[in-house]
Amino acid sequence: MSILVYIEQAEGAIKKTSLEAVSYARALADNEGTGVTAVAMGSIENSQLAKVGAAGADKVLHVNNERLNAGIIQAHASAVAQAYKKVEAKTLILAKSSLGDAVAARLAIKLNAGLVSNVTDLPDTSSGYKVKRSIYTGKAFAETSISTEHKILAVKKNAVDLKTDGVEAEVELFEVALSEDDFSAKITSTDQATGDVLLPEADIVVSGGRGMKGPENWNLIEDLAKSLGAATGCSKPVSDIGWRPHHEHVGQTGVKVAPTLYIAIGISGAIQHLAGVNSSKYIVVINKDADAPFFKAADYGIVGDAFEVLPKLTEAVKALK
């Protein structure tokens, strides 16, 4: 018997959020005295699969099927269900994501399992099985009880410290039986985000708002982001008026992020934007308006003109490196 972890990948690279899910499973398995098996699908090199072992998995089931490179929800759910039964698991761990949410919902039905999403801590089993999760876009926490034999936990991004000192995991090719019905949904086109660091996976995000005054000044945002190895984002008004592409829009109706560090420059801090970033571990706000609402949510703030602050901040980061 083993805890199973569903691994997501993009273009052959395993997502950091999935590795965090593996580390969460490792901690849970150590408490329960069991092992951790991961299931990864699609075309993935062994060098990438090795990261799963470093994160805490004992074994990786690799479903090496090119048709699974794309995130076809039904096919992934069927494959994971077969892996779950193979390892005689009672618990499935995965990262909370757009794909993970959809796969988890289908697996809850297939496995007759209780599902808790946005998990932030290990279960409390002192009296039943209670799981702490984030609610109200990170403003509060709730304890949810699961009474079913089978359990699915979707772990919130950055809620777990990523383990990197695990042993090399055994990799086993795993054949699954998939029907054409599993591939009945078709992905006809994909709007691929661009950039050196993609926003949903970024550990550091640098965002700009209308305080940047125009797209011609965005090089200041990009220079700081490049020096930090960060992704770039923007507020909704900035994407609405066409200064930046819509896939960079961070907020309640855009991309919700949970990086270790979020730097907001020239953004007032409307509640819709805050809802998309308040799961960040640290928030730094740079704004010349000392009364900007964003300062109330910030861990650190700089009251100053972005056009003066950013070049100095970028140079300071480069000097430290």
Same domain (yes/no): 266, 241: yes
Q: What is the per-residue pLDDT for 136?
A: 82
Q: What is the per-residue pLDDT for 321?
A: 79
Q: Per the domain annotation, does 190 fall within a domain? A: no
User: Cα–Cα distance between 94 and 18 in angstroms, integer?
Assistant: 6
Q: What is the per-residue pLDDT for 191?
A: 62
Check the annotation: does 210 bind a ligand: yes
pLDDT per position as a tens digit, 275-286? 899 888 899 999
pLDDT per position as a tens digit, 210-249? 999 999 999 999 999 999 999 999 999 999 999 999 999 9
Q: Which residue has the higher pLDDT, 138 or 308?
A: 308
Q: Give percent of the chain with pLDDT exceeding 70.
A: 98
User: Cα–Cα distance between 223 and 17 in angstroms, integer?
Assistant: 26
Check the annotation: does 269 bind a ligand: yes
Q: Which of 129-133, 139-143, 159-163, 189-193 has the lowest mean pLDDT?
A: 189-193
> Is 233:250 a contact under the CB 8 Å cutoff?
yes
Same domain (yes/no): 11, 154: yes
Residue with structure tokens 């593996």? 22
The average pLDDT across 297-301 equals 95
Q: If pLDDT is split at 50, 70 and 90, which confidence band does 197 have?
A: confident
Check the annotation: does 272 bind a ligand: yes
Residue with structure tokens 């070049």? 311
Q: Which among 158, 183, 208 is the end of a domain?
A: 183
* Bridge partners for 10 per DSSP: 13
Degrees, nearest 5: CA angle 51-276-261: 55
Check the annotation: does 65 bind a ligand: no
Same domain (yes/no): 267, 242: yes
Give me the torsion for CA of 267, 269, 270, 274, rounded to 10°: 120
> Can you say how many angstroms the Cα of residue 285 is from the centroid of all Cα atoms in its chain?
23
Same domain (yes/no): 39, 179: yes
Q: If pLDDT is split at 50, 70 and 90, which confidence band does 193 have?
A: low
Same domain (yes/no): 6, 150: yes
Check the annotation: does 74 bind a ligand: no
Q: Which among 149, 183, 217 is the end of a domain?
A: 183
Rounded to the nearest integer, the mean pLDDT of the chain is 92
Q: If pLDDT is split at 50, 70 and 90, which confidence band does 192 have?
A: low
Same domain (yes/no): 83, 125: yes
User: Cα–Cα distance between 77 and 110 in angstroms, integer?
Assistant: 9
User: Cα–Cα distance between 220 and 202 in angstroms, integer?
Assistant: 19
Q: What is the per-residue pLDDT for 138?
A: 75
Same domain (yes/no): 225, 169: no
Q: Per the domain annotation, does 191 fall within a domain? A: no
Residue type, 34: T
Q: Per the domain annotation, does 192 fall within a domain? A: no
The average pLDDT across 48-65 equals 93
Check the annotation: does 273 bind a ligand: yes
The average pLDDT across 178-195 equals 76
Helices assigned H by DSSP within the chain: 16-32, 46-54, 73-86, 98-110, 219-228, 236-240, 271-277, 306-320
List the domain range (segments joined by +) for residue 57.
2-183
pLDDT value at 27 more than 60: yes
Check the annotation: does 18 bind a ligand: no
Q: What is the CATH number of the domain that holds 278?
A: 3.40.50.1220
Please report the beta strands in 28-175, taking only residues with DSSP state E, as ranges in sequence order. Answer: 35-41, 59-63, 91-95, 113-119, 130-135, 140-145, 150-155, 170-173
Q: What is the per-residue pLDDT for 44?
A: 92
pLDDT per position as a tens digit, 74-100? 999 999 999 999 999 999 999 999 899
Check the annotation: does 266 bind a ligand: yes
The average pLDDT across 255-274 equals 93
Q: How many residues does the chain have?
A: 321
Q: Domain count of the chain?
A: 2
Same domain (yes/no): 42, 79: yes
pLDDT per position as a tens digit, 202-221? 889 999 999 999 999 999 99
Same domain (yes/no): 246, 116: no
Q: What is the CATH number of the domain that holds 168?
A: 3.40.50.620
Q: What is the per-residue pLDDT for 92?
A: 98
Check the annotation: does 286 bind a ligand: no
Q: If pLDDT is split at 50, 70 and 90, which confidence band does 186 have?
A: confident
Q: Which among 124, 157, 183 is the end of a domain?
A: 183
Q: Per the domain annotation, does 188 fall within a domain? A: no
Same domain (yes/no): 179, 36: yes
pLDDT value at 188 more than 70: yes
Same domain (yes/no): 231, 144: no
Q: What is the per-residue pLDDT for 57?
A: 96
Q: Give percent of the chain with pLDDT exceeding 90.
A: 76
Residue 228: C-alpha distances to residues 14, 204, 231, 234, 265 (Å):
22, 7, 9, 17, 15
Same domain (yes/no): 244, 174: no
Q: What is the per-residue pLDDT for 195?
A: 58
Check the annotation: does 287 bind a ligand: yes
Q: Per the domain annotation, does 249 fall within a domain? A: yes
Q: If pLDDT is split at 50, 70 and 90, which confidence band does 158 have?
A: confident
> Is 131:28 a contact under the CB 8 Å cutoff?
no
